Amino acid sequence: MALLQISEPGESPAPHQRRLAIGIDLGTTNSLVATVRNSIAVVLNDADGHPLLPSIVRYLADGSVQVGFAAEAQQARDAKNTIVSAKRFMGRGLKDVPYPENSPYDFVDAPGMVQIRTVAGVKSPVEVSAEILRTLRVRAEAALGISHGAASGEDGAGELYGAVITVPAYFDDAQRQATKDAAKLAGLNVMRLLNEPTAAAIAYGLDNAAEGIYAVFDLGGGTFDVSILKLSRGVFEVMATGGDSALGGDDFDHRLFCWVLERAKLAPLSDEDTRLMLSRARQVKEDLTNHVEARFNARLSTREIVDVVVNQQDFWDMSQTLVAKTLAPTRRALRDAGLAVADVKGVVMVGGATRMPHVQRAVGELFGQVPLNNLDPDKVVALGAAMQANALAGNRSSEEDWLLLDVVPLSLGIETMGGLVEKVIPRNSTLPVSRAQEFTTFKDGQTAMAIHVVQGERELVSDCRSLARFELRGIPPMAAGAARIRVTYQVDADGLMSVAAREATTGIEASVAVKPSYGLSDGEITRMLRDSFEHARDDVHLRALREQQVEGSRMVESVRAALAQDGDLLDAEERAAIDAAISALEKSMAGTDHRGIKVAIERANRATDAFAARRMDRSVKSVLAGRNIATI
Amino acid sequence: MNSPSDHFELFGLPRRFAVDLPALEKRYRDLQREVHPDRFSTAPVSEQRQSMEMATRVNEAYRTLKTPLLRVRYMLELEGGDVLAETNTAMPREFLMQQMGWREVLEEAAEARNAQRLDALDAQVGAELDATFADVEVALDARDGATSASLVRKLMFLDKLREEIGAAQERLEN
């Protein structure tokens, strides 16, 4: 609880109280992990000194898994089982897969989210991403001196408190949920999903003490985001965001690949040769950043030799339409923010694909200024995520007392008559946000009602992405039109949606069963967890116990702190009830029954509900009274 | 201890149409610094829930007070006025004629992909909006509910039209 953090200005909590937190940039092409050490964000390298982990996972027949460079080295030889750019499949169906004809994978069309058949069985993109996250978690634990398996790190530095995982700002609910699931599967406590351009803005803004309106232009391996932010006295306020969650450096590679295929008049390629040619295309694209021409050279499995010279101008011409696809969302974001180009003080470039000179030029022309490239475009997102992770873990000093205000990237709506969308929460609403709608029944005695929630800007349901279909059940039988069902849609600070429903005349809570459209059922998550534990030779029960114990001690710690600060808000009876719940929780934590601890945590939460509400009111009042600690 | 009962009270501002925008923004940031979920990521679930509810409320109140049309509608609501009373949707004939004229211009300009004409229409409707806001401010401060409600309906028409002009401009750009 940051507002309870008692420390002198300029002073961090004592080192032994610091909680270990990491920021992870889970990228399409490369992933990174960073942390804050001695108030400075640093990227953690692997044992060989590499900061980047190629986001590539290879499944082997014996059930083992290779991640990163080892997998990358085998991608052309074992294309079918070596998954690259899994991020592009997160929360996506088979119909969304870009150029499946050039993909070597054996796709399985599962409801909502596509899966891939490998020698080690069918894998969901969530599992593939979890392998990458797990590798980074292990890297971070080694770097931070966390001895794994120890119940409490007595000689080590304690344990990993939590992580912030970045996602493209333009990711929809299904893609965000899939990312969060992957992190859970990798054994990470996700403190927040943070939008990539916002993470970059923190790193840039804090580094340069920037104030004013800034645009962050983030073209990564597979996704494009643009965010317009207002930076003012430690507040990072996102005013609008836009993008394309299926546009990135990969697409430039693909353009080049197709162009070379045509030039070299090649017959259709095998999966392996396709992979080889695509990675050559990437190489040539990178070479063309600093050279006016580059050689596309490959020896195919058919013994054919491909040898084509590509010059910069050819490459720019063939990919100009891709660059243009970044400019329309940029203009729209400015319009949504109610700003003109002249209002923008600086344009921060993020993502490896912004190294391409024609991207730099197009952005410079649009904004009428030279883009800012003074931070490493590959690392800036991970660094910002680490800073935010450090702050969320409660390690912030009063100088690091910034606040992020982010937005929902895509409008949320519901299906109405005729397959049309009625917008409920418009895009660029500041998070958290909620809106309520009232419905009524149209038949006598009707007890259920179906609601379909979609995300997107188009008017037809079929042009938007289906987020959830749910049924309201348990509506009390009444005459048609008499029931008043209030449905509340809430989007939280992670950009994730939840729905609640209540019949207003009787106060009956209608039960809401939201089926995530991306189709990872609870059963599937359990199976994946079991698989991953078997793989890691971990003990499921021990792990669950450990998790609940950690959760329990967090609860005890924070309630004690709250009581110390605001105990006067309670009368003796209320105080006794909370004390009882806390000591019951502590008692259960000494045992080995993880379910018992979970129940005790839930009870403690209920016991402190009213207290929490009063504390919230008190802090609001303190702002009104000008007694706000943060602004002194 | 009771929560502030309305948006104005939440932000410690007088209930008037003319809002001190810098003060509103400052209060908004001060409040979010206290209640935002990022401040509660290590807190128990009960406090996280409270934080999300309060931060949601602060966002909603800020949006309402910051946006002139939402602000006047909200003020009318607080006064017990009903903007959308079904018996009261008749608009002056003159206003409806003007609306129809503008909509024709919008259609023609969009059809002809005439950006200049769209911009000119946007400016015209914007000016009409400003003038109407000035009228509604007088009516609201005089607690004249009926006049306010009818002016607010006019504002809603104009706002919708402006939104459509914006959409047409956007289509032209892409």
Of A351, A22, A420, the C-alpha closest to A170 is A351
- Mean pLDDT (whole number) for A52-66: 94
Per-residue pLDDT at B82 exceeds 70: no
Per-residue pLDDT at A629 exceeds 60: no
Alpha-carbon gap, residue A519 to A401, rounded angstroms: 39
Q: Which one of A87, A123, A285, A379 is the catalytic residue?
A: A87
Question: Nearest CA to CA, how far is B77 from chain A (Å)?
Answer: 17
Architecture of domain A539-631: Up-down Bundle (1.20)
Alpha-carbon gap, residue A265 to A234, rounded angstroms: 57
- Taking an 8 Å cut-off on Cβ atoms, the answer to whether B34 and A394 are in contact is no
CA angle A460, A465, A468 (to 5 degrees): 110
- Taking an 8 Å cut-off on Cβ atoms, the answer to whether B44 and A490 are in contact is no
The correct CATH number of B7-66 out of 3.90.650.10, 1.10.1200.10, 1.10.287.110, 3.30.470.20 is 1.10.287.110
Q: Which of A2, A328, A394 sits opposite B174 (nearest CB)?
A: A328
Percent of chain B with pLDDT over 90: 41
* pLDDT of A383: 96
- Taking an 8 Å cut-off on Cβ atoms, the answer to whether A554 and B42 are in contact is yes
Q: Which residue of B has its CA nearest to A333?
A: B170
Q: In DSSP terms, which residues pair with A190 in a beta bridge?
A: A163
Q: Which residue of B has its CA nearest to A489?
A: B56
Of A427, A473, A474, A482, the C-alpha closest to A450 is A473
Looking at chain B, the domain(s) classified CATH 1.20.1280.20 span 86-173
pLDDT tens for B17-32 read 889 999 999 999 999 9
* pLDDT of B89: 60
Which CATH homologous superfamily contains domain A412-522? Substrate Binding Domain Of DNAk; Chain A, domain 1 (2.60.34.10)
- Taking an 8 Å cut-off on Cβ atoms, the answer to whether A1 and B42 are in contact is yes
* pLDDT of A38: 86
Question: Nearest CA to CA, how far is B12 from chain A (Å)?
Answer: 6
Alpha-carbon gap, residue A454 to A459, rounded angstroms: 11
Cβ burial of A215 (10 Å; 0-12, 13-18, 19+) is buried
Of A192, A624, A90, the C-alpha closest to A406 is A192
Alpha-carbon gap, residue A89 to A34, rounded angstroms: 25
DSSP-assigned letter for residue A88: G
pLDDT tens for A60-89 read 999 899 999 999 999 888 989 999 999 999
* pLDDT of A4: 36
Looking at chain B, the domain(s) classified CATH 1.10.287.110 span 7-66
Mean pLDDT score of chain A: 85
Q: Does A474 touch chain B (CB under 8 A)?
A: no
**Which one is predicted more confidently, A462 or A533?**
A462
Alpha-carbon gap, residue B65 to A180, rounded angstroms: 34
- Taking an 8 Å cut-off on Cβ atoms, the answer to whether A605 and B42 are in contact is no
Least confident of A24-33, A71-80, A343-352: A71-80
Question: Nearest CA to CA, how far is A585 from chain B (Å)?
Answer: 13
* pLDDT of A59: 95
Q: Does B54 touch chain A (CB under 8 A)?
A: yes
* Confidence band of A528 (pLDDT split at 50, 70, 90): low
Looking at chain A, the domain(s) classified CATH 1.20.1270.10 span 539-631
Least confident of A153-167, A380-394, A500-514, B97-111: A500-514
Interfacial A residues in 491-520 facing B (CB < 8 Å): 492-493
Active site residue A271: no
Is-contact A285 A252, C-beta < 8 A?
yes
- Mean pLDDT (whole number) for A574-581: 92
Question: Nearest CA to CA, how far is A228 from chain B (Å)?
Answer: 18
- Taking an 8 Å cut-off on Cβ atoms, the answer to whether A405 and B37 are in contact is no
Active site residue A87: yes
Active site residue A218: yes
- Taking an 8 Å cut-off on Cβ atoms, the answer to whether A432 and B59 are in contact is yes
Q: Supply the angle between the helices A125-143 and A522-536 in degrees, to the nearest 10.
A: 40
The correct CATH number of B86-173 out of 1.20.1280.20, 1.10.3720.10, 3.40.50.280, 2.10.240.10 is 1.20.1280.20
- Mean pLDDT (whole number) for A421-429: 91
* pLDDT of A147: 64
